[in-house]
């Protein structure tokens, strides 16, 4: 038995708790401070009722309702709240899974006398008492159904899917409510005439039954190193200035490099992708013999890839840098220049760890600010 906890409009609810004046008014949380040049990061239920949803450009959201309340996202408070909820849930002493920043799962399968409904009510009450925000809880035999259940009675809902209501719930639930069916998979199945989750169950019962009812606790799996590390950024508007584009590639390369060094990894393959009106979606990668976790080197490799662009000076809207072919860093620098470079990187990391990430940074990245 899985209990899935899904926070209701998480970022927007926190902003409403901070500023009670916003409660009940249509509110969007923008991913950047400039309200007309960003996307909706989260919308509260009053805004969702108007048809505004996450991922929508804010300009379009304002065209739907011009008096929208706007708050710029502040990750620190969302991360802190998420971690505090995780700590609170640890206190229930069940295997716990951190599914995403606003989703948590408890596994009751080992419990001799599970009382999932009273547990769900207790969790909701404690979250509300501590953070003044609501959560929806879904309870079912496996995580897929529990996640579906949590979505069915939002906000502040508690839904159980068991043998008695399995068919009834699945008949009522549209296919796109099911995890993994929101994108192309769902569209393909819907085009084939599958409208509800029940239609999918009749055609693919194993899709529902094969999902585990308890967590995979294989320790080897959780310690696996990542396959790739990437960072991307969508610029507020199309950018033609080559220096600024280079600055962004350098910054993203540094961000990737920091994460590689934190995990003591090096990468042999760099992938760069760019989007823009002239180039559409450009993406290319190159593998090198020497692996690296130096931001400068990753940036140089990415710029080499950029030279493959046919267009001389294209407008760029989004940039992404990915490092793959990862391995553990066992390389010992031998040349004096390499040793000096390694020492410099370690010194920079120590300064940023002491005073905060990005306190000391390559000069060119100031063009991104």
Q: How far is the CB of 131 from another protein (least distance, A)?
A: 8
Q: How far is the CB of 91 from another protein (least distance, A)?
A: 12
Tell me whether residue 202 or residue 359 sits nearer to another protein (CB atom): 359
Asked if 33 is part of the footprint of another protein (rule: CB under 8 A), the reply reads yes
Pick the binder of another protein from 48, 231, 271, 301 (CB under 8 A).
Answer: 231
Tell me whether residue 17 or residue 318 sits nearer to another protein (CB atom): 17
Q: Output the CA–CA distances (angstroms, integers) from residue 311 to 133, 303, 314, 317, in the order listed.
A: 50, 14, 6, 15
Each residue 330-359 as x (binds another protein by CB under 8 A) or -, in order, gives ----------------------xxxxxxxx
Token digits for 162? 């068991």
Q: How far is the CB of 30 from another protein (least distance, A)?
A: 11
Q: How far is CA 203 from the centre of its chain?
A: 31
Q: How far is the CB of 365 from another protein (least distance, A)?
A: 8
Catalytic site includes residue 103 = yes
Q: Which of 295-309 are b and which e, b meaning 16 or more Cβ less than 10 Å from the residue's Cβ?
A: bbbbbebbbebbeeb
Q: How far is the CB of 283 from another protein (least distance, A)?
A: 21
**Which residues 6+ apart lie within 8 Å of 14 measured at CB?**
77, 78, 81, 131, 133
Token digits for 144? 């897929």
Each residue 137-156 as x (binds another protein by CB under 8 A) or -, in order, gives --------------------
Token digits for 179? 């995890």
Omega into 155 within 30° of 0, i.e. cis? yes
The catalytically annotated residue of 83, 87, 103, 206 is: 103
Each residue 69-108 as x (binds another protein by CB under 8 A) or -, in order, gives ------xxxxxxxxx--x---x----xxxxxxx-------
Site for another protein in 201-230 (CB under 8 A): 215, 217, 222-223
Binding range to another protein, per CB under 8 A, among 59-67, 111-119, 179-187, 253-261: 253-261
Each residue 167-186 as x (binds another protein by CB under 8 A) or -, in order, gives --------------------
Q: Total residues contacting another protein (rule CB under 8 A)?
A: 50
Tell me whether residue 231 or residue 301 sits nearer to another protein (CB atom): 231
Could you list the active site residues?
103
**What does the binding site for another protein look like in residue numbers (CB under 8 A)?**
14, 17-21, 32-33, 75-83, 86, 90, 95-101, 132, 215, 217, 222-223, 231, 233, 248, 251, 254-255, 258-259, 352-359, 365, 368-369
């Amino acid at each position: 038995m899985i209990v899935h906890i899904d926070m209701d409009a998480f970022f927007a609810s926190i902003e409403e708790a901070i500023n009670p004046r916003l409660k009940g008014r249509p509110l969007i949380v923008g991913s950047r401070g400039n309200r007309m040049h960003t996307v909706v990061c989260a919308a509260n239920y009053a805004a969702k009722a108007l048809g505004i949803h996450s991922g929508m450009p804010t300009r379009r959201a304002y065209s739907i309702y011009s008096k929208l309340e706007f708050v710029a996202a502040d990750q620190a408070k969302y991360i802190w709240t998420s971690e505090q909820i995780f700590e609170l849930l640890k206190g229930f002493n069940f295997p716990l899974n951190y599914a995403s920043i606003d989703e948590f799962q408890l596994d009751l399968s080992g419990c001799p006398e599970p009382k999932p409904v009273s547990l769900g009510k207790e969790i909701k009450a404690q979250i509300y008492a501590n953070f003044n925000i609501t959560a929806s809880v879904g309870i079912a035999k496996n995580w897929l159904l529990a996640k579906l259940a949590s979505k069915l009675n939002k906000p502040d809902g508690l839904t159980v899917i068991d043998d008695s209501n399995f068919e009834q719930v699945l008949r009522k639930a549209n296919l796109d409510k099911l995890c993994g069916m929101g994108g192309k998979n769902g569209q393909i199945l819907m085009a084939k005439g599958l409208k509800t989750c029940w239609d999918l169950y009749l055609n693919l019962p194993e899709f529902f039954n094969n999902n585990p009812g308890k967590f995979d606790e294989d320790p080897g799996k959780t310690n696996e190193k990542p396959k790739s590390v990437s960072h991307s950024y969508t610029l507020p508007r199309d950018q033609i200035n080559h220096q600024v584009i280079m600055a962004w590639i350098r910054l993203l390369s540094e961000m990737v490099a920091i994460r590689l060094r934190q995990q003591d990894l090096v990468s042999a393959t760099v992938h760069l992708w760019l989007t823009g009106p002239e180039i559409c979606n450009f993406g290319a990668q190159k593998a090198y013999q020497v692996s690296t976790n130096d931001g400068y080197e990753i940036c140089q490799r990415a710029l080499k890839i950029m030279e493959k662009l046919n267009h001389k000076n294209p407008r760029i809207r989004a940039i992404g840098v990915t490092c793959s072919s990862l391995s553990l860093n066992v390389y010992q620098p031998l040349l004096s220049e390499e040793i000096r470079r390694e020492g410099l990187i370690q010194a920079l990391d120590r300064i940023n760890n002491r005073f905060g990430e990005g306190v000391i940074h390559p000069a060119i990245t100031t063009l991104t600010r």
